[in-house]
Amino acid sequence: MNRRAIMNRRAMVQGALGGVLGLTLTPFVRSAFSQESPAVIPVSEGFVMLTGAGGNILVRTGSTGQVLVDSGAAGFTDAVLARLRKLPGEGRVTTLFNTHWHRDQVGGNFAFGQSEATIIAHEKTRARLATDYYLGVEDRYEKALPKAAHPTVTLFSGDKTLAGKERIDYGQLIEAHTDGDIYVFFRDANVLAAGDAISPLKDPVLDWFGGGWLGGRADSQEKLLKLCDDKTRIVPSYGPVVGRAELQAELDLTRELFDRMLALVKKGMSAQEMLDAGVMKGLSRTFRDPFKFAYDAYKGYWAHHNSLGPEVL
């Protein structure tokens, strides 16, 4: 990513956070914005978020060691480590979760794996990081990461609870964005990491070639909503911390898009034909690149054509 893009992203994050936090911005938050990436954003008692290092990194700080959800993009690892050293726990990471396998989320895995953190992820995330895989959009192979960067504890389906003093639940979000999405829920603190299964800032991304689709996204957002109450702090891969109301609004949008597109896909329309028919008009938010979203969603329906019958839906 070039510098201008980074600056734009930073401006967007600042703008979005300013909107959420309004006049309640503390001096600590204001000073965090004036730092170079990654910025440190308070989330809740004992939790901060590092932004501007690829995807957001959620950090549970503490003298017993730090727990991370995602590790940012590889180019920022040294800066991330420097930030972590200044937080309670001083950079001693005991556990790292990966919400999925995109390189903006796993770039620090090698460093944390080498220092013997347990890396927890979906089994498909482990498989993707352990093997070269084809990137259709870029027509190239993404190379496997070294062994130390691979998740060491994986789940294939369902939900789990990490043993320990505090209760940390994590589980599968089936095909919300890729084929390896998980949530991580710090239940005692009521902090929920949702990865790229929600997208409060930028256009939702459906990595159809990597297994994500609109139906999976709707189901996953419903699952996340059931975990939340009005005080839950929800951390996405990109953008600001949000609450239950914002998640509900995004789920309503996802469902609306799912229903509209399903009707048109069943008529045999292409992505461009759906757009021409107004499939994305009058929605609760504006998309920066409607064609990309419509195309990716359309390819996802193709991949699930055998589950679109009325008896299934």
Residue placing its CB nearer to Zn ion in the complex, 89 or 151? 151
> Cα angle vertex 281, ends 13, 300, to 5°?
75
Give yes or no for residue 122 binding Zn ion (CB under 5 A).
no
Give yes or no for residue 196 binding Zn ion (CB under 5 A).
yes
Residue placing its CB nearer to Zn ion in the complex, 55 or 89? 55
- What secondary structure, in 3-state letters, does 22-66 show? HHHCCHHHHHHHHCCCCEEEEEECCEEEEECCCCCEEEECCCCCE
CA–CA distance, 158 with 214 (Å, rounded to integer): 20
- Give the residue carrying structure tokens 């979760």: 97
Which range in 25-33, 85-93, 96-104, 142-150 contacts Zn ion by CB under 5 A?
Answer: 96-104
Choice from 9, 60, 83, 102 touching Zn ion (CB under 5 A): 102
Least Cβ distance, residue 175 to Zn ion (angstroms): 13
Q: Which residue is nearest to Zn ion (CB)?
A: 102
Residue placing its CB nearer to Zn ion in the complex, 247 or 265? 247
* Closest to 236 in 3D by CA, of 82, 117, 69: 69
Least Cβ distance, residue 101 to Zn ion (angstroms): 8
Residue placing its CB nearer to Zn ion in the complex, 9 or 260? 9
Q: Tell me the number of residues near Zn ion by CB under 5 A.
A: 2
Residue placing its CB nearer to Zn ion in the complex, 242 or 269? 242
Give yes or no for residue 70 binding Zn ion (CB under 5 A).
no
Q: Which two tokens stand for residue 201?
A: 């800032």
CA–CA distance, 168 with 239 (Å, rounded to integer): 23
- From residue 252, how far is each of 37, 242, 246 by CA, in Å? 33, 15, 10
Q: Which residues bind Zn ion (CB under 5 A)?
A: 102, 196
